Amino acid sequence: MLKKLSVFVLSLFLIALNANAGSDGELTIKQNNSEIKKTKDCFEKINRATFAFNQGLDKALIKPIAEGYRKLPDGVQTGTSNAVRNLSNLVTIPNNVLQGDIKTAFINTGRLLVNSTVGLLGTIDVANKMGFPKYVKEDYGQTLGKWGFGPGCYVVLPILGPSTVRDTTGSFANVLGGDPWYNASTHGNNEFLSQGVYLTSKAISGIEFRANNIESIENLEKNSIDFYASVRSLYLQDRENKIKNIQRGNVEVIYEDDEDWEEVETSK
């Protein structure tokens, strides 16, 4: 129990590295999404205070680390990105199954096996070169949404960032759901998919994302009349798009959950 708790607390800090985002270009926030309309900001005063705390943490710790990561050689960054993306299949695959998309679950299992072996532990995206279908991440919050659960109130979590009651429940499932990344191991050999490897991949994924969006976040904050409201709208729009599997052409990632925020529409 103590081990589970310590892993949970550590994971909260690591997932925080995924909490901020933006997109290059002129951001377009569409307010007519049904998810935005039906999600109430029940705890706005507390949410705004938490949001300010998270901004301070980002500027003091996360952004400087991301700036250092940005200076690494391109090959190192690409290999690292491929590896953590490969590990994200371990959350996507069970959610493919829970959503009844068995075909995609098999495809992503094949992607995981190919990239983990021929692709040198995922550092090379061999599956993409072989013509596998485009990879789309899934998470437990999306699964709950597809099962018909409403988002509930909008919340801003300390460190973790923007969420809803539904998505927070889904995020906890990733951490407390019986160590799901272990399930992909064979013959009881959990060396490659240990908790340490999983949590490290989460931290690196967040650092990489933040490094790729330094200017985007600054532009969003600078050009927003109310930065808090802009982030809230973008997050809710993103979640509705992901639940409905809406794919847009010119988008970038911004999502607080396991992997990232995703699919913020831009205009050129």
The residues, any chain, with a CB within 8 Å of residue 42's CB and separated by 6 or more, are 153, 154
For residues 72, 75, 200 and 61, what is the CA-based torsion angle, rounded to 10 degrees?
A: 20
Q: Tell me the per-residue pLDDT of 18-27, one tens digit each, with 9 for 90 and over.
A: 433 333 333 3
Per-residue model confidence as pLDDT tens digits over 41-58 = 999 999 999 999 999 999
Q: What is the pTM of this model?
A: 0.71
Q: What's the whole-number mean pLDDT along residues 131-150?
A: 90
In this structure, are residues 165 and 155 in contact, taking their beta carbons and an 8 Å threshold?
Answer: yes
Distance CA 91, CA 72 (A): 28
Query: Quick check: 185 pLDDT over 80?
Result: no
Contact assessment for residue 228 and residue 236, using Cβ atoms and an 8 Å cutoff:
no
The reported pLDDT for the residue numbered 57 is 92
Rounded mean pLDDT, 105-123: 92
Helix or strand or coil: residue 72?
coil
Of 143, 141, 146, 148, the closest CA to residue 166 belongs to 141
Banded pLDDT at 105 (limits 50, 70, 90): very high
Q: Name the strand (E) or helix (H) holding 144.
A: helix 140-146
Q: What are the two backbone dihedrals, phi and then psi, of residue 154, each rounded to the nearest 5 degrees?
A: -75, 135
